[in-house]
Amino acid sequence: MVFSKSQLIIIGSVLVIILFFVLVFLGVIPGLRSDLGGQTELIMWGVYDSADDFAGSFSGLQNVFPNVSIRYVQKDPLTYETELVNALALGSAPDIVMVHNSWLPKHMNKLSPAPAATFDLKAVRDLFPAVVEQDFVSGGNVYALPLYIDTLALYYNQDLFNAANLSFPPSTWDEFISDVDTLKNVDRTGKINLAAASIGGSADSINRATDLIYLLMLQSGTRMVDTDYTSAVFADYSKDGVRPGSSALEFYTQFSNPRSSHYTWNDSLHYSLDNFSEGTTAMIFDYAFSRETIINKNPFLKFGIAKVPQLSDAPIPVNFADYWGLSVLNRSPYRDLAWQAVSFLTTDTSSVNSYLAATSRPPAPRSLLSGCSRDTTLAPFCAQTLTARAWPRPDQSKVDVIFSDAVKGVLNGKLSILNALNEAQDNVSLLITKLK
> What does the domain layout of the chain look like in residue ranges?
12-143+324-363, 151-321+390-435
- What DSSP string describes 240-296? TS--HHHHHHHHHHGGG-TTSTT----TTSPPHHHHHHTT-EEEEEE-TTHHHHHHH
**From the CB of residue 426, how many other CB atoms can be counted at a distance below 10 Å?**
13
Q: Quote the CATH superfamily of domain 151-321+390-435.
A: Periplasmic binding protein-like II (3.40.190.10)
Q: Which of 224, 228, 229, 192 is nearest to 211 (CA)?
A: 224
Mean pLDDT, consecutive 10-residue stretches, the chain (436 aa), reads: 47 41 40 54 96 97 95 96 94 96 95 96 97 97 98 98 98 98 95 97 98 98 95 91 94 97 96 97 97 97 98 95 98 96 97 97 96 90 97 96 98 96 98 92
Instruction: Round to whole Å and give the CA distance between 210 and 201.
Output: 9
Q: Are 28 and 92 within 8 A, CB to CB? A: yes
Instruction: Round to whole Å and give the CA distance between 207 and 247.
Output: 22
CA torsion sign, 348 to 349 to 352 to 354?
negative
DSSP conformation class of 363:
B
Instruction: Round to whole Å and give the CA distance between 420 and 405.
Output: 8
Q: Which of 400, 408, 390, 409 is nearest to 428 (CA)?
A: 400
What was the pLDDT predicted at 158? 98
pLDDT digits (tens, 9 = 90+) for 371-394: 988 888 999 999 999 999 999 999
For the domain covering 12-143+324-363, report its CATH number.
3.40.190.10
What was the pLDDT predicted at 233? 97
pLDDT digits (tens, 9 = 90+) for 231-264: 999 999 987 888 999 999 999 999 999 999 999 9
What was the pLDDT predicted at 303? 98
Give the DSSP H/E element, type plus range, for residue 99: strand 96-100
Instruction: Round to whole Å and give the CA distance between 207 and 169.
Output: 20
